[in-house]
Structure 1
Amino acid sequence: MWALKYIENINLNPQNLHKKIADNIVELKGYFADDVLALTSTKESLEDFTSLEEKLSWMLFVDGCSLLHILEHADLRKPEAMNIKVDQLVLVMMDALLLENQLPYLLLKLLWKNDSEAELKYAMKEFLKCHHWATPEKRSWRSRFQGHFEVHNQKKEEEQHRISIQNESESESPVHLLDLQRKIILTKSSPKTKGNEANIKNQGQANSEELMTYRNIQDLRAVGIKLKSSETRRPTDIGFSEGWFAAKLTLPEIVVDDTTKSTFLNLIAYEMCPDFENDYGICSFAAFMDSLIDHPEDVKELRSKGILLNSLGSDEEVADLFNVISTDLVPNPSTYLEVRAKIHKHYCNKCKTLIAQGIHTYFNGPWAFIAFLAAFIALVLTFVQTWFSINPAS
């Protein structure tokens, strides 16, 4: 149905589109594992085709056109464009990102409505913006006065669109849609991240066994390590800074809902594919978060700091979710190495931790501070009264 809609919208001859697939079927065939092709080439399944290549070309033609229609028209705000309900559209968008459903980028490029590869990449990125990993754009003050600057905003959007298309033409082509999603998630734009990479060699001399032992949120809070939400949702934007007695751990904003588990597991499965050389960025991030979340109290602290947006259920469910996701994960030891080293250094500083523990224990809340201040004032007044009693004014 969606393949037919796509062909109708682009006004191109479907036979010519299929010929593009048939002419490149040998290269496209190389993207699929032998066991997958074996399932497709059974005698019964080839009854209506002259060869495996012919059957595969038609399968890729239909699936590719359907996916391109989804990329162009899938919008949770306008599900009617896909002629389905919003809950069904969510499932369709999730299925489009499943590892087993990925189609080669070459296929999408061959079936795209024109020769502009930049527009195809732009459409793919626009589709991925609906996902929770995408960092929400900050609203400008102009958006509060819609209607007064319509012409200006329209020109601005057209210019931004033109620049985006130009940038896409210069970017590296992804392997498939899921590969593009992973690249976007792990975009390294923070200066802190660059510093982290630059200091990996210096931190490499530290005891790696000690650095791998993380403390949960409650333990970090007890030694004066506070939490702060970063400006993005990128796993690469994790940082650590120290003050006189306290320190600050910066974490990206995380949205947790019914799709979080499948999304994490899907990306982790992709990183663990034997033929995919990568730095295990998603695996390392999942393991890092799991090392910080042991109990519902840790989730509650993350929520209070605006880091974790819980749409799943109770805090206990979220804690269990990260524990399940990170089961048997082996992270990249060099990822977050500088952050782990700084946490360990701060944790082992007895002077700072004792002061922080004292503040955490006796001044953990405004009432505790008020009580201390009242007691201190009472002590000072008692001292002054005693002084004047012993040394009366002449």
Structure 2
Amino acid sequence: MEPDQHIVSIDEHYSRKVIRIEDRPTITREERFRRLTGAGVQRRAEEPAKIQKVIFLLRDHKHFVKYFEPRVAAVGPIHHGNPKYRLGEEYKLTSKFVELCGKDINCLYEEAEMEIKQLRGCFEEEVTKNYDDEALAWMLFVDGCAILQYISCVANDNFKELNIKNDSVAFAHQDLFLLENQVPYRLLKLLMKYSGKEEQLSESIERFIGIVTNQQMKLQQKQGERDQTHLLDLLRTRLLGPFGKNGGDQDRDSQSYRNVQELKSVGIQLKRSKNNSHLREISFTRNFGFYPGYLWLPPITVDDSTGPKFMNMIAYEMCLDFENDFGISSYISFLDSLIDEANDVKDMRKAQVLRNFLGSDQQVADLFNEIGTDVVPNSDAYKDVKRQIQKYYDIPCMTWMAQVYHNHFSSPWTFLAFLGVLLGLGLTAAQTAYAVKASHPGPCEKFCMLKLKET
């Protein structure tokens, strides 16, 4: 074998297997040891996760494009430059954000450019390696201005400024909450700060998130908590609400009920949580501490954006550098345990727990069965609620009581019929008692009869 062929032979036992010298790893020994020793370094919980691609575990999802790829506009470096988002790029370049702020565009851009090192650090290295600082700074500046302009128009109900069709508005709305379509929240804060309209823009973001979550109250950030990573992180935080308390010793494998229909069969009724509660605020109570049981659920609106929003929040929780309690994954898993079929969705609608803008009840059931597949929840989430439901479910007489209630008290007509039966039984009993009493003479009648005999 000639040396200039750059091929090294392996033992003949391995049948012609060869290794090209130029294909050998070029990593130095020092780099190998640095990676090895750095592999075990734990990130601090308060450190934000990097903006990155969807984890490999979800990349082979059969509806990956539908759930994870932008529809009309690429934001950030991951999908930037894709020809199918060309029209979206043109709209971003016509953003009136700078005009709205009354700020010189050069001054505003320079502020973003000065922070490019910190902004680059908000991304996983892999997704920004093909962009130099100037290209990345300009991309983020254009995207950040367009996002703030869009949010301001939505929050203030001024879609005319966007000059785009309604269907494109809906798709753009969805695109803002894709994991691979995020820019650092630090960038948005920077642009708001130097825009001269920080207060108004901050309020617009709060109103916008309130519209998306149907929650008008801002969740107060506690001291020591990290800032939001991006808009998807902000959405997740607002939906989940504050951390709740989980108690009890519930075994994750001991749950024997399967859906709303089985809960209904033992007298457990669905109730809408008050004040548009957060997703963590699920509870279970009993009337007079016994019967019936009430499962209190926060209301949820289901439409075309529900699947992508929840799938991207689940993907965000699965990011290896994001330490979290898997709150969204746990909620979807709990909801999936309640929904098996169209009748489950129907009962949730009747209880005003769920609003269906997607289509048929079966479509909603199929959606939650799909996004709930292979989701790994936090075993401590809703532990106390599950324990209380199971304890109630295991009482043998609950099924009998539920059947009695369903047969005789489920509607005004069955209740009136039941009262009629009771009244009929009461009258029959009274008539029988009177007849028995009449057939046996009392003391006065006996005395009169004796007097008549003496005469």
Separation in 2 of the partners of 1:384 and 1:270? 72
| Residue 18 of structure 1 pairs with residue 109 of structure 2 | yes
Change over 3 Å in CA distance of 1:76–1:12 after alignment to 2: closer
Give the secondary structure class of the aligned counterpart of 1:27: helix
What displacement does 1:217 show?
1.0
Which of these residues, 122, 146, 158, is aligned with residue 31 of structure 1? 122
Residues 125-204 of structure 1: pairs in structure 2 closer than 5 A: 125-131=206-212, 133-135=213-215, 173-188=227-242, 194=244, 197=245, 199-200=246-247, 203-204=248-249
Report which stretch shifted further, 73-82 or 9-18: 73-82
Residues 351-366 of structure 1: pairs in structure 2 closer than 5 A: 351-366=397-412
| Percent sequence identity over aligned pairs | 39
Separation in 1 of the partners of 2:120 and 2:149? 23
What displacement does 1:271 show?
1.3
Q: Is the 8 A contact 1:245 1:356 kept in 2?
A: no
Which of these residues, 183, 196, 204, is aligned with residue 123 of structure 1? 204
Question: Which amino acid in the other structure matches residue 418 of structure 2?
Answer: F
Change over 3 Å in CA distance of 1:65–1:116 after alignment to 2: closer
Change over 3 Å in CA distance of 1:69–1:255 after alignment to 2: same
What displacement does 1:116 show?
7.5
* Structure of larger gyration radius: 2
Please list the CA deviations of residues 316-355 of structure 1 after superposition, one character each: whole Å capped at 9, or x if unmatched.
Answer: 1111111111011111111100100000010112234432
Please list the CA deviations of residues 196-236 of structure 1 after superposition, one character each: whole Å capped at 9, or x if unmatched.
Answer: x1x52xx13x433214x443111111111111101214212
Report which stretch shifted further, 167-176 or 237-246: 167-176
What displacement does 1:73 show?
1.9
2:167 is aligned to 87
Residues 259-274 of structure 1: pairs in structure 2 closer than 5 A: 259-274=305-320
Give the secondary structure class of the aligned counterpart of 1:369: helix
Unaligned runs of 5+ in 1: 42-51, 138-163
Please list the CA deviations of residues 136-187 of structure 1 after superposition, one character each: whole Å capped at 9, or x if unmatched.
Answer: 68xxxxxxxxxxxxxxxxxxxxxxxxxx8xx789885211111111111111
Which of these residues, 265, 271, 281, is aligned with residue 222 of structure 1? 265
What displacement does 1:375 show?
2.5
Change over 3 Å in CA distance of 1:227–1:169 after alignment to 2: closer
Please list the CA deviations of residues 23-81 of structure 1 after superposition, one character each: whole Å capped at 9, or x if unmatched.
Answer: 2222211222233224x34xxxxxxxxxx112111111111111121122224843212
Question: Which amino acid in the other structure matches residue 186 of structure 1?
Answer: L
Separation in 2 of the partners of 1:83 and 1:115? 25
Question: Which amino acid in the other structure matches residue 392 of structure 2?
Answer: H
| Residue 384 of structure 1 pairs with residue 430 of structure 2 | yes
Change over 3 Å in CA distance of 1:136–1:367 after alignment to 2: farther
Change over 3 Å in CA distance of 1:67–1:277 after alignment to 2: same
1:241 is aligned to 285
Q: Is the 8 A contact 1:74 1:82 kept in 2?
A: no
RMSD: 2.7
| Residue 8 of structure 1 pairs with residue 99 of structure 2 | yes
| Residue 331 of structure 1 pairs with residue 377 of structure 2 | yes
Residues 284-299 of structure 1: pairs in structure 2 closer than 5 A: 284-299=330-345
Q: Is the 8 A contact 1:96 1:102 kept in 2?
A: yes
Q: Is the 8 A contact 1:121 1:168 kept in 2?
A: no
Question: Which amino acid in the other structure matches residue 114 of structure 2?
Answer: D
2:360 is aligned to 314
What displacement does 1:262 show?
1.4
1:69 is aligned to 149
Question: Which amino acid in the other structure matches residue 226 of structure 1?
Answer: Q
TM-score by length of 1: 0.79
Separation in 1 of the partners of 2:204 and 2:155? 12
Separation in 1 of the partners of 2:154 and 2:410? 48
| Residue 256 of structure 1 pairs with residue 337 of structure 2 | no
Separation in 1 of the partners of 2:423 and 2:285? 35
Separation in 2 of the partners of 1:11 and 1:97? 28
Separation in 2 of the partners of 1:168 and 1:80? 34
Which of these residues, 208, 211, 214, is aligned with residue 252 of structure 2? 208
Unaligned runs of 5+ in 2: 1-90, 442-455
Change over 3 Å in CA distance of 1:169–1:20 after alignment to 2: farther
Separation in 2 of the partners of 1:9 and 1:355? 64
Separation in 2 of the partners of 1:169 and 1:340? 29
Separation in 1 of the partners of 2:157 and 2:138? 32
Q: Is the 8 A contact 2:103 2:196 kept in 1?
A: no
Count how many residue pairs are aligned between Structure 1 and Structure 2: 344
Please list the CA deviations of residues 281-313 of structure 1 after superposition, one character each: whole Å capped at 9, or x if unmatched.
Answer: 111111111101111111111111111111111
Change over 3 Å in CA distance of 1:118–1:136 after alignment to 2: closer
TM-score by length of 2: 0.69
Question: Which amino acid in the other structure matches residue 125 of structure 1?
Answer: E
